[in-house]
Structure 1
Amino acid sequence: MIHSDIYVNVPHFAGKFGVERMIEQMGLSATILRPAYYMDDEITIKDVVTGHGIYPMPIGDKGVAMIDARDVGEVAAIELVRREESPAPLPLTRINLVGPDTLTGASAAAIWTDVLGRTIAYPGDDTAGFEQNLRQFMPGWMAYDMRLMAERFLTDGMVPDAGDRDRLTTLLGRPLRSYRDYVAQIAG
């Protein structure tokens, strides 16, 4: 995951960072894909957005560079083929997988507003309330993990490094899929 080296207090990030370090220390020839927040996860909040008029994810104002899972899959396929067809082992490579826009809670709500044609509010950054809501349908430990992640969204964001977007558009040979297009797809 992108920033697994920064979000070290978030269990599902820390585990992935440990695997990355192991791959590197073992000298394995691999491509490590480090995706940001999947915009596809937004399907889980669609009913809240459309039914209650709020964008409930506490992603804050630092920004989260959401990526479409189809872009993740395509990059993975390209990398698998590149490594398979290489006449010699390739060095360890890390690729941050990010979307074309860095979204805030307010900007995500504004996109939903535009797509739906009615006001969608961003209620703010209540990570404790977020955790309590999640506890209704997932184990407590998982809800707490999600809260820790949301807290890191607020303090650090999930923003791309310089050149990440250009690298991906070059690799794909096309623009990255946008959040606006994804929202239009699932809202319809």
Structure 2
Amino acid sequence: MAVSGATGAQGGAAARALLQLGRPVRALTRDPATPAAAELRALGAEVVRADFDDEASLTAALAGTGALFAMSTPFGSDLSAEIRQGTALLDAAVAVGVGHIVFTSAANADRSTGIPHFESKWRIERHLATLDVTWTVIGPGVFMENYANGWTMESLRDGVFALPMPPGRPLPLIAARDIGAFAALALNCPAEFGGRRIDIASQWRTSEQIAAAIGAASGREIRHREVPLTVAESYSGDLAAMFRYFQETGLDVDIDGLRRDHPEVGWHTLEKWATDRAWDL
């Protein structure tokens, strides 16, 4: 099975989940010499070079594989590049005879959110649906890993969890490991998951609950502070559009149904995810 973005959070989690299930993994990455690529190789993955802007490298990387975990990202490029690269990956997979593609999008991306990096993924989803291949789309909610990145960590070190969300408004959260586990489940069961679009998350949590979980795990007192949307706008119009949607419409994910129907995924709670991390605060 081929896994794109294998040295990143989602792709890496999918590759590890498949390897744990005993499935052969071909890990696609632009740079097979990175430490993350070496880790996958040590776990038993075949690591190959694949550049989304190089059709020949995609064809070579995907040849002989039966299924593909496909992902796209605008970060580090732009939305038009994300759409171009995402469709190129899907087209190359179909051209070499891949039988099942699991594409990771975003929760509710099919609902006219107006969020630029959701709309770009919806464009790729629509293209996938036109191809002669069994497909599955999974739409993750809000990544727990977002709360351990550089921008958030800066405020956490000051004892503040700053987020453009009002008190008491929950978000559907998910850990990268659960995305990978669900992707592996779908890849292993094309008859069950083929032709389906499934939004996924493991738990609803408010900003106050997120702050409390990180505080308990790190041994620091952390309090939530609502950041105005104008501050988010100063960083990114895309970011502001996302939080405006979260505030005014909100994401819709059937978490109870997911936990009931797919307990094998594991579904990490925020508290478990936070406890498992080393917090340098």
| TM-score for both structures, normalised by structure 2 | 0.54
Larger RCO of the pair (alpha carbons < 8 Å, separation 6+): 1
| Cα distance in structure 2, aligned partners of 1:186 and 1:49 | 17
Matched, 1:111 2:213: yes
Describe the shift of the 1:4–1:50 C-alpha distance in structure 2 as closer, same or farther (beyond 3 A): same
Match of 1:16 among 112, 121, 141: 121
| Cα distance in structure 2, aligned partners of 1:20 and 1:46 | 30
Partner of 2:169: 62
Matched, 1:166 2:260: yes
How far the C-alpha of 1:28 sits from its partner, in A, is 4.2
| Cα distance in structure 2, aligned partners of 1:74 and 1:144 | 32
The amino acid that maps onto 2:213 is: I
| Cα distance in structure 1, aligned partners of 2:226 and 2:136 | 37
Match of 1:71 among 159, 171, 178: 178
Match of 1:43 among 120, 132, 148: 148
Higher strand share: 2
Partner of 1:137: none
How far the C-alpha of 1:98 sits from its partner, in A, is 0.3
Higher helix share: 1
- Secondary structure of the structure 1 residue equivalent to 2:174: coil
Runs of at least 5 residues in structure 1 that lack an aligned partner in the other structure: 135-142
How far the C-alpha of 1:10 sits from its partner, in A, is 0.6
How far the C-alpha of 1:55 sits from its partner, in A, is 0.7
1:101-180 map, 5 Å: 101-132=203-234, 134=235, 143-161=236-254, 163-169=257-263, 171-172=264-265, 175-180=266-271
How far the C-alpha of 1:48 sits from its partner, in A, is 2.3
8 Å Cα contact 2:201/2:253 also seen in 1? yes
| Cα distance in structure 2, aligned partners of 1:71 and 1:113 | 23
The amino acid that maps onto 1:70 is: R
How far the C-alpha of 1:113 sits from its partner, in A, is 2.6
Describe the shift of the 1:27–1:167 C-alpha distance in structure 2 as closer, same or farther (beyond 3 A): farther
Partner of 1:182: 273
How far the C-alpha of 1:39 sits from its partner, in A, is 0.8
How far the C-alpha of 1:67 sits from its partner, in A, is 0.6
| Cα distance in structure 2, aligned partners of 1:54 and 1:92 | 43
8 Å Cα contact 1:33/1:95 also seen in 2? yes
Runs of at least 5 residues in structure 2 that lack an aligned partner in the other structure: 1-105
- State the aligned residue count: 171
| Cα distance in structure 1, aligned partners of 2:162 and 2:214 | 12
Larger Rg: 2
Matched, 1:33 2:33: no
The amino acid that maps onto 2:279 is: A
Partner of 1:140: none
RMSD between aligned residues: 2.4
| Cα distance in structure 2, aligned partners of 1:182 and 1:91 | 30
- Secondary structure of the structure 1 residue equivalent to 2:237: helix
| Cα distance in structure 1, aligned partners of 2:278 and 2:142 | 17
- Secondary structure of the structure 2 residue equivalent to 1:74: helix
- Secondary structure of the structure 2 residue equivalent to 1:17: helix
